[in-house]
Structure 1
Amino acid sequence: MGTSGKCLGHGLGFAELARAWRLRSGQFPTKVGGRPAWLGASGLPGPGALACAQCGRPLSFLLQVYASLPCHANAFHRGVFLFCYREPPCCASLRVFRNQLPRKNDFYSYEPPSENPLPETESVCLQLKSGAHLCRVCGCLGPKTCSRCHKVYDCSKEHQTLDWRLGHKQACARPDHLDHIIPDHNFLFPEFEIVIETEDEILPEVVEKEDYSEIIGSMGEALEEELDSMAKPESREEKIFQKFKTQIALEPEQILRYGRGIAPIWISGENIPQEKDIPDCPCGAKRIFEF
């Protein structure tokens, strides 16, 4: 996933541990958790765009997918960022943003990134190349600054208070240590690289003839009972859910399915959006499924 301008195609994503430098912006990562690895240094969403629509508190960064579109000059580098609100009762709040750049830009080399990183790429960087500062808690734009030391930035009053309580109060009087003391605020999701592998296309006719014991493995009697139920008359809802379960069972450790322009595999027959339910892009084009 670190290859500059790499187009994903169609594949499955698996979470793997990775060195910190592989998950920084300059490596164009696809990853889950941690702080967002922004591509550009301008046009990033501010605190208002990253607040829960119900309670107004900051959303958490969930994952990003590096999905280059080399055929579009202004999207040679392209990242899609997904944010969510992880606390009840607002767990359904989701927000997606796109961040992209042409291949020739002010921030990255025209050539693919080096596989021999500089030592500083292991540390957390909370300042963009444009000079904009990022929140110490979540890694998003941080317009608020500490009124005492004027060296620490946060995105919101909530994160300013959290940071103060969990370390900045002690470090504030020692500004020479501020860049090196970033406590665990228990706000970020655990960070992993998402490695994309091509999915083998298995037609339903082929799957029916194969030995299901290899597919279900240790999933036990529960899945066997579900497979037995497939022989009985099914409702539309049951068929949709069973199709999802059967497809996922082929690679149960997958956490992401990528396929720009393909049809999604629905988990339920309820509330499947129709074309009229999906708003057009601000440019007027129809939106398509991506992951």
Structure 2
Amino acid sequence: MKLLRVGPPGQEVPALLDSAGQLRDLSAHVADIAGAALTPAGLAAIAALDHAALPILPAGRIGPCVGQVGKFLCIGLNYADHAAESNMPIPSEPIIFGKATSAICGPNDDVLIPRGATKTDWEVELGIVIGKGGSYIPQAEALDAVAGYCVINDVSERAFQIERGGQWIKGKSADTFGPTGPWLVTKDEIDDPQNLSMWLEVDGHRYQNGSTRTMIFGVAHLVSYVSQFMSLQPGDIISTGTPPGVGMGLKPPVYLKGAEVIRLGIEGLGVQQQTVGHA
């Protein structure tokens, strides 16, 4: 299934994209694409509905595909070639940092460069949405904890991230720095999350062209690993790192200045498009 949320910010309606590409209203059956709706039982209940009988929703703004996110976690330097372009060593264990949940926005909402920013950058990433959750999840059972996957643009202000005391969360958490969606694609539709092509373009120039094949730590490893340090709950998101081609790694570096159009996508998970503005 492809689950999404449609409507103005803060007023999104839970929806399903049917096999014909029609938006179907789920609001009579679930309050939101969040929490209990993302558990195995919740997803099974949505799957059991007669999708063709659900009311059709008119096209409109697509919001972030998950609501009420409790934790927005990210994995740093999870592609060896991205670590190299960042002049950082390949990590021996996953690097975990957070983005503020207030950074989350719709996949096609404007990205706003924050005040005082000078090095705003892009990162196409595979997002894991937790469905079952728990603590100390064995790696062999980790995929059972996954509700599905989505596209994330881990927008980053490198000066805040690297030059302002070394705390990554400061460079990752500005409003609009977490475009998420367009859809949450349930895991049954993804044969292998470690074999998905991914790309990102700015003003039509393709900067990132990679695959989840080259992750250092795969989805199952990451879910299990993160759960050793904190419990995971339904609707938590783990953004799994980016392949090479970020602006910081180019020679010379290229950063967003405003008015650019960013397009990015992951095989089977849809496409995002953002126009860059200023806060």
Q: TM-score, normalised by structure 2?
A: 0.22
Q: TM-score, normalised by structure 1?
A: 0.22
Q: Which structure has the larger Rg?
A: 1
Greater relative contact order, per chain length (Cα 8 Å cut-off, separation 6+): 2
